[in-house]
Amino acid sequence: MLGRPPIEERIAARQRELGELKRGSVFPHGPAKMLFFFSMGVVVITHIVALCMYFVDAGPPR
């Protein structure tokens, strides 16, 4: 399209440039790592708050 190579060729070229991942490197992209850990933190905190509300809250007075 408009003299550009197809998307598959551009992706393959970019992957060739990056090369192999370093051993032990799970997140080569810094913002992705930050977003992942932030979202996991939100999930854990939300679950803890929900469990506290479930077990501690006595409910409406009788």
Where are the chain's structural domains? 27-62
Top-confidence residue, 16 or 25:
16
In the chain, the amino acid numbered 9 is: E
Model pLDDT, residue 1: 59
From residue 52, alpha-carbon distances to 38, 42, 46, 47, 59 in Å are: 21, 15, 10, 9, 13
Alpha carbon distance 40, 48 (integer Å) = 12
DSSP 14-59: HHHHH-SPPTT-S-SSHHHHHHHHHHHHHHHHHHHHHHHHHHH---
Residue 27 has pLDDT above 80, yes or no: no
Model pLDDT, residue 47: 97
